[in-house]
A = this chain, B = another copy of it.
Amino acid sequence: MQKLSSVVFRIEALERVAIFGVGLIGGSFALALREAGFQGRILGVDTPETARRACDLGVIDEALAPQPAAQLADLVYLALPISGILEILPQLDRWVQADALITDAGSTKDAIVRRARESVARCQFLGGHPLAGRELRGVEAADPVLFRGRRYVLTPRTRAELDHPRAREFVGWIEKIGALPVILDAAEHDRIVAFTSHLPQLASSALASLLEGRTEAQSHVFGPALVDSTRLALSSFDIWGDILETNRGEIGAALETYIRTLQAFARVLELDPEGLREHFRKAAKFAGGLRDTT
């Protein structure tokens, strides 16, 4: 059995990867694959301008249109905005090889996994979300070590899906690029990131949007803390609109929890600020623990 499976593996080895969306994530995945020893061909699908830059920078080997890229690829890697992923999945199904794997890097998973279930029938689909990012965007910011040490969530419908040879190979590459695979149910993923990613974004955007135009903020009287606190507020709605749209229920619940916590803070502050000591202790414990695990 062992021998047979290794023969099968060799026959199936990835030869062509098609990356749809050669921006920060797609470009970094291409560079990371190459650095991890991938010997095959990396095809890129993007606007003519971005595709040319990606070729010039050596991020991809060749720029192609969606259809030929999908037809040639053993692995289709969708690093598009969520709405782009939702849109292209039904088309991809008409073009892909039967033994190909389609995966994505979208920041929410439930809507994408549902769409894939409805529309991808001719090959396997495996949802993914690398918990990596930078303030910079675009292929110029692509970085072969972007995924190193980062969690990479995978959302198979069943655990057995991970045993398909193509899926096993893909998970192997995730490990080779230094990321840490985490298996989660898609809905559970969305509930988690509502708290750990989407809520921090809205907390920062709300802070920055309320300060915009206020006289207090025009005084230039602020320290490094405000610069830190508004870093996420620089993020583009072009990315966040899709995330908010496809995870609004969970994000709404997380926002409610945050508002209730702030209301409790306000009440304690009014009664006796010393009562906030325990909240600060819990907060510092969490923030410290986070740093120990990263």
Q: Chain A binding site: helix, strand, loop or mixed by DSSP?
A: helix
Instruction: Give every chain B residue within 8 A of A263 (Cβ-Cβ).
Output: 259
How far does the alpha carbon of A276 sit from the alpha carbon of B251 in the complex, in Å? 13
Judge whether A244 and B276 touch: CB under 8 Å: yes
Judge whether B232 and A229 touch: CB under 8 Å: yes
Judge whether B211 and A195 touch: CB under 8 Å: yes
Judge whether B131 and A233 touch: CB under 8 Å: no
- In the complex, which residue of chain B has the Cβ closest to the Cβ of A207? B203
How far does the alpha carbon of A57 sit from the alpha carbon of B127 in the complex, in Å? 55
Q: Is A35 among interface residues, defined by CB-CB distance under 8 A?
A: no
Q: Is A4 among interface residues, defined by CB-CB distance under 8 A?
A: no
- In the complex, which residue of chain B has the Cβ closest to the Cβ of A188? B219
Q: Is A71 among interface residues, defined by CB-CB distance under 8 A?
A: no
Instruction: Give every chain B residue within 8 A of A274 (Cβ-Cβ).
Output: 241, 245
Supposing A216-B195, A222-B131 touch, asked if A258 and B182 sit within 8 A by C-beta, the answer is no
Q: Is A28 among interface residues, defined by CB-CB distance under 8 A?
A: no
Interface residues of A in 215-274 (CB under 8 A from B): 216-217, 219-237, 240-241, 244-245, 248, 251-252, 255-259, 261-263, 265-266, 269-270, 273-274
Please tell me which one of the listed residues B151, B234, B273, B290 contacts residue A248 in the complex, with CB atoms under 8 A apart.
B273
Judge whether B223 and A288 touch: CB under 8 Å: no
Supposing A131-B223, A210-B261, A286-B209 touch, asked if A244 and B217 sit within 8 A by C-beta, the answer is no
Q: Is A206 among interface residues, defined by CB-CB distance under 8 A?
A: yes
- In the complex, which residue of chain B has the Cβ closest to the Cβ of A180? B220
Please tell me which one of the listed residues B150, B191, B282 contacts residue A223 in the complex, with CB atoms under 8 A apart.
B150
Judge whether B228 and A284 touch: CB under 8 Å: no
How far does the alpha carbon of A233 sit from the alpha carbon of B200 in the complex, in Å? 13
Interface residues of A in 276-294 (CB under 8 A from B): 276-277, 279-288, 290-291, 293-294
Minimum distance in angstroms from A48 CB to a CB of chain B: 27
Q: List 20 other contacts, CB 8 Å, given A153-B221, A195-B216.
A: A131-B223, A151-B222, A193-B222, A196-B216, A196-B221, A197-B222, A197-B225, A206-B258, A207-B261, A209-B282, A210-B258, A213-B282, A227-B291, A233-B286, A234-B288, A237-B276, A237-B280, A240-B276, A251-B269, A252-B269
Interface residues of chain A, those whose CB is within 8 Å of chain B, are 131-134, 150-151, 153, 182, 184, 189, 191-197, 199-214, 216-217, 219-237, 240-241, 244-245, 248, 251-252, 255-259, 261-263, 265-266, 269-270, 273-274, 276-277, 279-288, 290-291, 293-294
- What are 20 of the A-B contact pairs (CB < 8 Å)? A131-B222, A132-B223, A133-B223, A133-B224, A191-B216, A192-B216, A192-B221, A194-B216, A201-B225, A205-B280, A206-B265, A207-B258, A209-B279, A209-B286, A212-B285, A213-B282, A234-B284, A241-B274, A252-B266, A252-B269
